Amino acid sequence: MAAIEFVNVTQAFDKNVVIKDLNLKIEDGKFTVLVGPSGCGKTTLLRMIAGLDRQTSGNVLIGGEDVTDVPPGQRGVAMVFQNYALYPTMTVRENIEFGLKNNKVGKEERKRLVESISETVGLTPYLDRKPAMLSGGQRQRVALARAMVKKPSVFLMDEPLSNLDAKLRAQMRIELIELHKKLGTTFVYVTHDQVEAMSMADTIVLMNQGRIQQEAAPEVIYRQPSNLFAAQFIGVPPMNVGDLAHDGARFGFRPENGILSTERQDLPFSVRGMIVTREMLGSETIYQVKAGRHSFMIKCTDDRLAVDQEVFLGVEGSKLFFFGPDERCIPQE
Ligand code: ATP
């Protein structure tokens, strides 16, 4: 069992409190993604699980055991870093088997392990190359293979795809999902990219300023955001938000739920506006519509509307969100 638990954990660097009294259970065997803006404390959480930093107060448990005093090498976790941290003078094979040699695994067993794991991540043809002769994606696979040979019960990944180009990133996302399925091990993955979080996670832990904003399956965060932050962090373009007339309350709707028309629409939300920008993306077009003091982004399949054109913008009642003055989302029946 490799469930991970944070119990009343605070982490401060000097007087800077980065994590504030955090409680979190990460389920065994699940793909959990920690996501949030830069500096919100994601890496700090990961480093506490790995044992690279010790929490200021509270407890960190792995598999039910308090690991506060367990050194990193004995926690059964393996970490994959953004920069891969490969040894440049070693071949792929040597990089992968390095940890095994340190752990005094016999030569035959090392060979068997390296070859089977290289096969799993598609590195077999490159075993004798040095990292400099590999593509970014191949280096990423070496870093993964190096973590895998340790047979950890928890994989920790800190923005492992951020050095790859968009196409390769999309491919590696799928490979990681498949790898997780194959291994059935706990994955904890840190990213600031909500697309990565949405596409890979069983559970998203959305953070801001050292606090958990929402912890739920991707579709739940998308459909039922807990607050304004969650509503605007998940989804591209972000949810449109406007002020309601009274008390600091606000309403919101997703860009894909705005309906544009040249005629007034009989909908609960309906305003007259002007198209100020138009971005054709192929199957979809994104329009920015200015309506009074608000500006809304609308994503739709109609690409025939033009800049400076007057339009009516409507939203169905079931697609509207409402937020109280405390920024919490008010559930609608
Ligand atoms: P990013 O997406 O930019 O990597 P993050 O969410 O992973 O951000 P952390 O690296 O966890 O953020 O950092 C959270 C905060 O803690 C930041 O304000 C950072 O400056 C601070 N911090 C992290 N490590 C240390 C340290 N060793 N000493 C002092 N401050 C630190």
- Tokens 């409402």 locate to 322
* Residue 137, pLDDT above cutoff 90: no
The backbone torsions φ and ψ at residue 291, rounded to the nearest 5 degrees and listed phi first, read -135, 105
Average pLDDT over residues 158-185: 88
Cα 45 versus chain centre, distance: 14
* Percent residues over pLDDT 70 in the chain: 99
State pLDDT tens for residues 292-319: 999 999 999 999 999 999 999 999 999 9
List the domains of the chain with CATH numbers. 4-229 (3.40.50.300), 240-323 (2.40.50.140)
Candidates 327, 322, 286, 292; CA nearest to 307 is 286
333 vs 47, which has greater pLDDT?
47
Q: Is the CB of 2 under 6 A from ligand 1?
A: no
pLDDT classification of 218: cutoffs 50, 70, 90: very high
Q: Is the CB of 39 under 6 A from ligand 1?
A: yes
- Tokens 């920790």 locate to 156
Task: Give me the DSSP letters along 5-56.
Answer: EEEEEEEEETTEEEEEEEEEEE-TT-EEEEE-STTSSHHHHHHHHHTSS--S
Query: How far apart are the CA of 140 and the centre of ligand 1, in A?
Result: 23
Strand partners, 79: 156
- Give the single-character DSSP code of 124: G
State pLDDT tens for residues 34-70: 999 999 999 999 999 999 999 999 999 999 999 999 9
Say whether 102 sits in a helix, a strand or coil.
helix
33 vs 182, which has greater pLDDT?
33
Question: Tokens at residue 323, please?
Answer: 């937020």
Candidates 207, 178, 273; CA nearest to 19 is 207
* Residue 82, pLDDT above cutoff 80: no
Q: Is the CB of 192 under 6 A from ligand 1?
A: yes
Distance CA 281, CA 237 (A): 13
State pLDDT tens for residues 240-288: 999 987 788 999 999 999 999 999 889 999 999 999 999 999 999 999 9
Query: How far apart are the CA of 34 and the centre of ligand 1, in A?
Result: 14
Residue spans of alpha helices (H) in 153-209: 166-183, 194-200
Q: Is the CB of 13 under 6 A from ligand 1?
A: yes
* Percent residues over pLDDT 90 in the chain: 78
Strands 57-62 and 4-13, how do they pair?
A: antiparallel
From 6, 10, 11, 13, mutation site for ligand 1 pocket: most ligand atoms within 8 A of C-beta: 13
pLDDT of residue 270: 93
pLDDT of residue 200: 96
Contact assessment for residue 297 and residue 196, using Cβ atoms and an 8 Å cutoff: no
Q: CA angle, 265 as apex, 262 and 268 as ends, to 5°?
A: 145
* Residue 1, pLDDT above cutoff 80: no
Average pLDDT over the chain reads 93
Q: In what order do the strands lie in the sheet with 4-13?
A: 16-26, 4-13, 57-62, 65-66
Query: How far apart are the CA of 210 and the centre of ligand 1, in A?
Result: 10
Candidates 266, 302, 268, 271; CA nearest to 286 is 302
pLDDT of residue 220: 96
Q: Is the CB of 235 under 6 A from ligand 1?
A: no
39 vs 99, which has greater pLDDT?
39
* Residue 83, pLDDT above cutoff 80: no
Query: How far apart are the CA of 202 and the centre of ligand 1, in A?
Result: 25
Q: Is the CB of 47 under 6 A from ligand 1?
A: no
ipTM of the complex: 0.94
103 vs 217, which has greater pLDDT?
217
Distance CA 290, CA 96 (A): 55
Distance CA 264, CA 291 (A): 14
pLDDT of residue 108: 92
* Closest ligand 1 atom number to CA of residue 191: 2
Average pLDDT over residues 91-119: 89
* Residue 4, pLDDT above cutoff 90: yes
- Give the single-character DSSP code of 227: B
205 vs 139, which has greater pLDDT?
205
pLDDT of residue 136: 84
Cα 125 versus chain centre, distance: 31
The backbone torsions φ and ψ at residue 115, rounded to the nearest 5 degrees and listed phi first, read -70, -35
pLDDT of residue 151: 87
* Closest ligand 1 atom number to CA of residue 210: 14
pLDDT classification of 167: cutoffs 50, 70, 90: confident
CA dihedral 185, 190, 194, 199 (to 10 degrees): -20
Residues 6+ apart with CB under 8 A from 285: 278, 279, 299, 300, 301, 302, 303, 305
